[in-house]
Structure 1
Amino acid sequence: MNQVDDLAQLLDDNLVEEYLRENPSFFTKYPHLLNYMEVSQQQEGTVSLVQRQQRMMREKIVALEDEITSLMAIAAENQALYKKFAALFFDLLNCDDLIAINDKLNQHFISELGLTHVSFKLFDQHVPAMLYVNRSELDNLLVQRLGRGYHYFGRINQQEQQLLFDHPEPGSVALIALGKSGELGLLAISSEDANHFQPEMDNLLLMQLTRLIASLVQRLLIK
């Protein structure tokens, strides 16, 4: 038995794997060895290690290209959404009364964003009748859905829908309290898509919107 056979008996697959992991430049030093390496594949039979590496690299490149394409599509959607919210912010700043705010909210969310219903409810008795709601009527909803928080994204039951919308229907909703502690009212937006509003979704634009609305409401109530 020669020295090579003796060495082969001392080595096992794990030792070889460990050595190659610790010495990733091994095949760089001895590139000619790659021509002797073979990898067995069920569909294509035996291919060289170089061919296998090339295929794996191509697959990684395709996966990265798909990921980049997906990220670019998401970025384009976010940009379009940002522009629509920016237009809504500008329109709200030019509103002279609460009815106008309500109209703009309905216009943008339903016509521009394709959502189903908007419910803009305020707790102050001095607001227009169509916007006023006694807070006690929403107490259970506020406790169950918002708790100590300021927003809720997800589904609500039919009874809760009837409290908020003229024509309730299954789907998902965004509920956001107005005011620092929810003392001014509630903005509710519904979608017929049950998965449109989800707890983990980004709430930055909607929270900025409701802060603007709360500021406008306070300013108009003082007049």
Structure 2
Amino acid sequence: MDANEVAQYLKDNTDFFERHAELFSTMKVPHPHEGKAVSLAERQVLALRERVRGMELRVSELVRAASENEHISDRLLLWSRGLLKERDPQALPAAVAGGLGEIFSVPDVALRIWADTAPGDAEAPWRGEVSADARTFANGLMSPYCGPNSGFEASAWLEREVRSLALIPLRVGIAPEAFGLLVLASPDAERFTPSMGTTFLTRIGELASASLSRLLTEAPRA
């Protein structure tokens, strides 16, 4: 019998070791790590211990991820509450950007709105010039961009050089055109990477869009 036939025989005769219990103490198999022989029973115990250790590590990772997500959710709620409490629409851009920088510890935050707003907003920082190419790029973002700074125009809106950033389009509902762009940036190249999930960034964009839409004289059609 070859090894496959032996394995198949044991599968077909699950009571084999019940009928030959003495094999657990007399059979010797290689130790998985120490290079010595151990009994079949001891080898099975070692295998179970390794499985349990792997499960413990997995549970530990899940608990850590859950804790991090809960922390992010708490901060998102705190930021959202600040936006809801702001009664002056003209103060909302500063509340959006400042809150993100403070609550989420983002080194650099920039905001631009190019849709029509009140005439008195013309000199506001968030009404700075935005090229047609940058607007087209924002319109094409169906989800936030997260990754290295590849010479984006939006990086020039920041006061210092950045190496990674998140670009979040601002739009009303499912409107095809964005009315602005929110930029989160960092001089750390690993702060925002393509491998990062964008779920929370999407939520930030939705909340910021809903708040800042109060500034628009005519909201884009959803």
Bin of the TM-score, shorter chain as denominator length: 0.7 to 0.9
SS in structure 1 at match of 2:216: helix
2:60 equivalent to 1:69: yes
1:121 is aligned, of 112, 119, 122, to 112
Give the aligned residue type for 1:167: R
2:10 equivalent to 1:20: yes
SS in structure 2 at match of 1:208: helix
Asked which structure has the greater CA Rg, the reply is: 1
SS in structure 1 at match of 2:191: coil
Change (3 A) 1:40 1:184: same
Identical-residue share of aligned pairs (%): 25
SS in structure 1 at match of 2:61: helix
Change (3 A) 1:218 1:45: closer
Change (3 A) 1:141 1:191: farther
Measured in 2, the distance between the counterparts of 1:22 and 1:53 equals: 20
Aligned residues of 2:168 and 2:182 also touching (Cα < 8 A): yes
Aligned residues of 2:167 and 2:183 also touching (Cα < 8 A): yes
The 5-angstrom pairing of residues 20-169 of structure 1 reads: 20-41=10-31, 43-124=34-115, 126=117, 128=121, 129-135=124-130, 137=131, 139-140=133-134, 143=137, 147=140, 149-158=142-151, 160=153, 162-169=155-162
Q: Report the alpha carbon displacement of residue 78 of structure 1 after superposing the two structures with TM.
A: 0.7
* Unaligned ranges ≥5, structure 2: none
Larger proportion of helix = 1
SS in structure 2 at match of 1:35: helix
Change (3 A) 1:140 1:162: same
Match of 1:209 in 2: 204
User: Comparing both chains, which one has the higher relative contact order based on Cα–Cα distances under 8 Å and sequence gaps of 6 or more?
Assistant: 2
Measured in 2, the distance between the counterparts of 1:141 and 1:37 equals: 73
2:150 equivalent to 1:174: no
Give the aligned residue type for 1:188: V
